Amino acid sequence: MALDLRINKYADVPMEEKQRLFDEVTRDERFEEYLYGCYECGICVASCPSARFYDFSPRRIAQAVAREDVDLVYTLMNDSIWDCSQCFSCDRCPRKNSPGGLITIMREVAVNNGLSSAQEALEGYGRIVYKIMGTGTQVSPDMLQPNAFPDWGPHVKDISDNLDIWRRALPPETLHTTETGWQVDDKTIIELYLIWHMTGVMNMIQEVDEGLYEILVDVMEERLEEEGYDVTFD
């Protein structure tokens, strides 16, 4: 999607709100190590894989924040930061800026404040987040669904239709399950739930995907109760 900076797409959003989000970015304790000053040399763009395929520019992120252009930062926080692959190739900056790191902060601020763009950007990841946070395993065979990965081609449908059979046909031990990648230790999953509870991760999930949040909370509260923990998420 082309990003037209000549128009102020979010002119109707109050300046106070934009300033509030901007301040949240600059107050982050990582901020001063991620941005010094930008002389707009473009080395970050030249090294950025996303910039080759999208109308995306890590330079634009760094210079907008460095110039304290609150309007532009708001626009980028909605329409640009999600095109970054967080590979940090841009860290080769001669001023020692980290545009990728700035984007990490901006994404967290966008998520914590439930920006609709954050919700949209993360929509496709709901299933992955559910899998990781529910089971403690990162990927599982049943996540291979043609509607989620159209770019993988038509054969994905054939495979996903008979996933269980394909899975059983593999020589290594596959647990004969399609729901988890491997077995997760009871103690591990309980600790993960407690960490997510205590560090506010669940609040972030709630901001971007209320439905997913409800499902995860049900799963987690039940399991924690079984283990003797009296934990509620609200």
Partner 1 sequence: MAEKPILIIGGGPAGLEAARSIADLGYQAVLVEKRERLGGTPDEAHYAKLTPDLRDAPKAMQEMIDPVTNNPNVKIHFGSTVTSASGSAGNFDVTIKNSKGSTTENVGAVIVATGFQHFDPGRETQQYGYYEHDDVLTLVDLEKMLTEHKVVRPSNGQPPKSLCFIQCVGSRDRQIGNEYCSKVCCGIASKGAIEVRQLLPDCKVYIFYIDMRMYGYWENEIYWPAQEKYKVNYVKGIVTEVVKKGDGLMIKGEDTTLGRPMEIPMDIVVLSVGMEPSAGTREMAKVFGLQLNKYNFIETTGGPLDTVTTTVEGVYACGASTGPADLEDSVSSAGLAAMKAISLVRKAAQAA
Which residues bind to partner 1, rule: CB under 8 A? 5-6, 36-40, 59-60, 63-64, 66-68, 72, 95
Of 76, 96, 101, 97, the C-alpha closest to 86 is 101
Residue type, 226: E
**Least CB distance from residue 82 to partner 1, whole Å?**
20
**Least CB distance from residue 40 to partner 1, whole Å?**
5
**Least CB distance from residue 154 to partner 1, whole Å?**
40
**Least CB distance from residue 7 to partner 1, whole Å?**
9
Toward partner 1, which CB reaches closer, 17 or 68?
Answer: 68
Name the H helices within the chain: 15-27, 31-34, 43-46, 49-53, 58-66, 70-79, 99-112, 116-122, 126-135, 155-161, 163-169, 186-198, 201-208, 210-226
Residue type, 3: L
Q: How many CA atoms lie within 13 A of 173 on its CB side?
A: 3
Toward partner 1, which CB reaches closer, 66 or 219?
Answer: 66
**Least CB distance from residue 33 to partner 1, whole Å?**
12
Instruction: Tokens 């987690």: give the residue.
Output: 220
Give the C-alpha separation, 171 to 177, whole Å: 14
CA 111 to chain centre: 8
Toward partner 1, which CB reaches closer, 66 or 201?
Answer: 66
Toward partner 1, which CB reaches closer, 38 or 204?
Answer: 38
Toward partner 1, which CB reaches closer, 38 or 122?
Answer: 38
Toward partner 1, which CB reaches closer, 64 or 208?
Answer: 64
**Least CB distance from residue 17 to partner 1, whole Å?**
20
Give the C-alpha separation, 8 to 155, whole Å: 43
Toward partner 1, which CB reaches closer, 94 or 172?
Answer: 94
Of 121, 108, 31, 25, the C-alpha closest to 73 is 25
Give the C-alpha separation, 118 to 81, whole Å: 10
Question: Do you know the residue count of the chain?
Answer: 234
**Least CB distance from residue 37 to partner 1, whole Å?**
3
Q: To 5 degrees, how large is the angle CA 196–CA 200–CA 201? A: 55
> Both tokens of residue 23?
């301040």
